[in-house]
Amino acid sequence: MTFVARTYDDPCGLARALNLVGDRWALLVVRELLLGPKRFSDLRRGLPGASQSMLTQRLTELEHAGVLGRRQLGPPTSTWVYELTESGHALAPALLELARWGSRTPLTSTVEMSVDALALALRTTFDAAAAGDLRARCSLVVDGDRLVATVEDGRFGIVRAEADAVDAELESSAAALRALVFTDEDVATAEAAGRVTVRGCRVVAARFLTLFPRPTPTGPHA
Question: What domain range includes position 33?
Answer: 13-102
- Could you give the number of structural domains in the chain? 2
Same domain, 96 and 139: no
* CATH (domain of 193): 3.30.1050.10
Final residue of a structural domain among 48, 72, 102:
102
pLDDT per position as a tens digit, 90-135 = 999 999 999 999 998 888 888 889 999 999 999 999 999 999 999 9
Please report whether residue 4 resides in a domain.
no
Domain assignment present for 1: no
Say what the pLDDT of residue 143 is: 95
> How far is residue 211's CA from residue 221's CA, in Å, rounded to a whole number?
26
Answer yes or no: are the C-beta atoms of 148 and 161 closer than 8 Å.
yes
The reply to whether 88 and 125 lie within a common domain is: no
98 and 147 assigned to the same domain? no
Q: What is the pTM of this model?
A: 0.89
Identify the pLDDT of residue 219: 62
Residue that finishes a domain, picked among 41, 74, 102 = 102
Q: Please say which residue of 102, 124, 157 terminates a domain.
A: 102
Surface-to-core class of residue 88, CB atoms within 10 Å of its CB (0-12 exposed, 13-18 middle, 19+ buried): buried
For residue 62, is pLDDT > 60? yes
* CA–CA gap between residue 41 and residue 74 (Å, rounded): 18
| Residues 73 and 30 placed together within one structural domain of the fold | yes
Tens of pLDDT along 128-160? 999 999 999 999 999 999 999 999 999 999 999
